[in-house]
Amino acid sequence: MKSKGEQRTDTRSQIIGGGVVGLSIAHRLSQQSPSSSSVLIERHSSLGTETSSRNSEVIHAGIYYGRDTLKTRLCLRGRQLLYEFCERHGVPHRRTGKWIVAQNDAQRRELERLHAHCADIGVPVRWVPEREVRGGGEGASSVTAETLVNAAGLGGVAVYNMVVPAALRKRLYFAKGNYFSYSASRPRVSRLVYPAPNPGAAGLGTHLTLDMGGRIRFGPDIEWVDSPDNLAVGRERLEQAVHEIKLYLPGVDETCLEPDYAGIRPKLSYKGAGQAGKNFNDFVVRMEDGYHGWVNCLGIESPGLTSSLAIGERVGELFYGRKVS
């Protein structure tokens, strides 16, 4: 944030938050202005220990949000940047593709709407016949800076509220997503499997994801909690999850499902929707009016991992007004 008068600053940029978003921003700012220094401030002793390591690990296609939303734009761009980054740096990843499953006429109509939206935003999709589906088996010190980026994830609104007057303060809501491990070898699947979208829902539904070793995991569900530290997965969540999974994967063996880990979505409104529909919560990535040099990244829920490099690119544009390749 702009320093008073001609006072010398210790560094050009300060970035608060060492998750994927803060790291991507630091990476981009150092690329755009290699001669200026950046300081990244993280409250834990290691990087990426909060939401960035508690998610579905899916590189999203960006198909669930409105055409002109930041979520769509940053996800499509971020996806391309992320694949390039992974290939250039040898980061293990897999392009599995995914199936989105409709079980009734209303869900079929929702998939038709999604199909048209995908054509509109240029994401390749195809209808899969049922027979193909069935065959597939952390000292106190101070640093001054000219610019400040708030990428503090679940702590982002608290950082924002430290600076703005009381009338502008925001509240953050926490939508926990619980995951369940799966120890059976059947059904055999090689793709991600998602339920049909439920417009206005806080998440994408309890879906099936595969880790790099091909192990199946289900989640995340949606549980509204009061604290971002509430990360235990209660067994009582299992029954509802089984019900939701069986809707699109009747062959799941529920005796092989166990509570696993959880992540928390930072929501800018209560019951805020993660996908297109009523009460949709878009990403906020903006230079703050009246505070030259202060950028806030708020409400960076899914697809924040996929979008992270594009968020870094956008913050670079906000400061320097141009892209670098």
Ligand X SMILES: Cc1cc2nc3c(=O)[nH]c(=O)nc-3n(C[C@H](O)[C@H](O)[C@H](O)COP(=O)(O)OP(=O)(O)OC[C@H]3O[C@@H](n4cnc5c(N)ncnc54)[C@H](O)[C@@H]3O)c2cc1C
Is 17 a residue that touches ligand X (CB under 6 A)? yes
The count of residues in the chain is 325
Q: What's the closest the beta carbon of residue 272 comes to ligand X, in angstroms?
A: 13
Among 2, 43, 169, 215, contact with ligand X (rule: CB under 6 A):
43
Among 15, 32, 42, 298, contact with ligand X (rule: CB under 6 A):
42
Closer CB to ligand X, 30 or 49, in the complex: 49
Among 154, 233, 245, 273, contact with ligand X (rule: CB under 6 A):
154
Is 177 a residue that touches ligand X (CB under 6 A)? yes
Is residue 103 within 8 A of residue 196, CB to CB? The reply is: yes
| Distance separating alpha carbons of residues 85 and 31, to the nearest angstrom | 14
Q: How is residue 153 written in tokens?
A: 């994830």
Is 41 a residue that touches ligand X (CB under 6 A)? yes
Is 195 a residue that touches ligand X (CB under 6 A)? no
In which element (H, E) is residue 182 found? strand 173-182
Residues linked to residue 207 through DSSP beta bridges, in sequence order? 219
Contacting range for ligand X; rule: CB under 6 A; set: 14-22, 102-110, 118-126, 247-255: 14-22
Closer CB to ligand X, 60 or 217, in the complex: 60
Among 62, 197, 220, 299, contact with ligand X (rule: CB under 6 A):
220
Cβ-proximal residues to 304 (8 Å cutoff; 6+ apart), any chain: 20, 21, 51, 283, 311
| Distance separating alpha carbons of residues 16 and 166, to the nearest angstrom | 21
CA neighbor of 160 nearest in space, from 268, 31, 28, 263:
268
Residues linked to residue 219 through DSSP beta bridges, in sequence order? 207
252-271 positions binding ligand X, by CB under 6 A: 263-265
Closer CB to ligand X, 106 or 232, in the complex: 232
| Distance separating alpha carbons of residues 181 and 284, to the nearest angstrom | 33
**Omega prior to 34 cis, within 30 of 0:** no
Is 94 a residue that touches ligand X (CB under 6 A)? no
Contacting range for ligand X; rule: CB under 6 A; set: 10-18, 187-195, 234-242, 286-294: 10-18
Is 22 a residue that touches ligand X (CB under 6 A)? yes
Q: How is residue 90 written in tokens?
A: 């040898």
Q: What's the closest the beta carbon of residue 302 comes to ligand X, in angstroms?
A: 4
* Interface size with ligand X, residues (CB under 6 A): 39
Residue 5 Cα distances to 2, 9, 39, 48, 314, angstroms = 9, 11, 22, 36, 28
Closer CB to ligand X, 185 or 190, in the complex: 190
Is 44 a residue that touches ligand X (CB under 6 A)? yes
**Omega prior to 197 cis, within 30 of 0:** no
46-75 positions binding ligand X, by CB under 6 A: 48-52, 55-58, 60
What residues make contact with ligand X under the rule CB under 6 A? 16-22, 41-44, 48-52, 55-58, 60, 151-155, 159, 177, 220, 263-265, 300-306
